[in-house]
Amino acid sequence: MIGALMDDFLIRAALAGLGVALAAAPLGCFVVWRRMAYFGDATAHASILGIALALGFGMSVFAGALVVALAMAMAVSTLSGRGVAMDTLLGVLAHSALAFGLVAVSFLQGVRIDLMGYLFGDILAVSKTDLAVIWGGAVLVVALLAWRWQALLTATLSSDLAQASGIDPRREQLGLTLALAVVVAVAIKVVGVLLIAAMLIIPAAAARPLAGTPERMAAVAVGLAALAALAGVEGSFVLDTPTGPTIVCVAAAIFALTSSLAALRRTVARR
């Protein structure tokens, strides 16, 4: 009986990790191409405030995190280019949102909250409802990226080229913003607020040396993210380590391996 229960929660954890990998990896390619790493961090950190508000008002944590993450992303898009350097703006907003969220959590009376779980993830506690939310969000993000793929690539390559092709770069940026907010909201349970940006960036960066086209890079990134998720869940169970950080550690090891192979290949080619 105990073995069956253990198998059940491990299967749910693996499925949750795969769902996040499916959503985060292709979106992470655009984060890497557009150099939006800080943007992802700011959106993720803001979700802590959304969690606090959701718990305070008895709302769904997913809904609260999604609304505040989307609001943060929209605020960054609106304020960018208004006299403040983008990295400075993102740093101020990211850390301010995280601080306000943590302060708001401290005011919650009579509400039991696992702050460490929200900060670093608690994938082993994923329920069937959580799985439905994660996979629903993943399907939504993948569908949006598939629908706007060519337009997003064109806008990423050059805003002038996009406008000449009849594509509105700001609309495509808004689509990425929406997708990013959804990924943040669904990934909180798996890797936590502080590690979401890592799952967006590391698999995409690891896939870059292995891919010659944007489409192949996205596909390879999904495969590497899925490998990191499954190996991280298994490794955390065997080693009794925190699952979210273990998943990111595996992803980092994969990045180190692909980067080393790419460097070795360049050295051999020069000789």
Q: What is the CATH number of the domain that holds 230?
A: 1.10.3470.10
Q: Is residue 251 part of a domain?
A: yes
Residue 126 burial by CB count (10 A; 0-12/13-18/19+): exposed, middle or buried? Answer: buried
The helix (H) or strand (E) run that includes residue 11 is helix 2-33
Q: Is residue 162 part of a domain?
A: yes
Structure tokens at 187: 């990934």
Residues 243/192, Cβ–Cβ less than 8 Å = no
Mean pLDDT of 45-49: 81
Residue bearing tokens 């292995």: 210
Q: Which pLDDT belongs to residue 6? A: 47
Q: Which pLDDT belongs to residue 7? A: 58
CA 260 to centroid of chain Cα atoms: 25
Given pLDDT bands bounded at 50, 70 and 90, which one contains residue 33?
confident
Q: Is residue 187 part of a domain?
A: yes
Q: Is residue 270 part of a domain?
A: no
Q: Is residue 22 part of a domain?
A: yes
Q: Which pLDDT belongs to residue 4? A: 38
Which domain does 33 fall in, by range? 2-264
Q: Which pLDDT belongs to residue 82? A: 65
Residues 199/41, Cβ–Cβ less than 8 Å = no
Mean pLDDT of 225-241: 90
Residue bearing tokens 């803001």: 46
Number of domains in the chain: 1
pLDDT tens for 61-75 read 778 888 888 887 777
pLDDT tens for 244-254 read 889 999 999 99
Lowest model confidence (mean pLDDT) among 12-16, 110-114, 266-270: 110-114
Residue 111 reports pLDDT greater than 70: no
Q: Is residue 234 part of a domain?
A: yes
Highest mean pLDDT among 84-88, 90-94, 176-180: 176-180
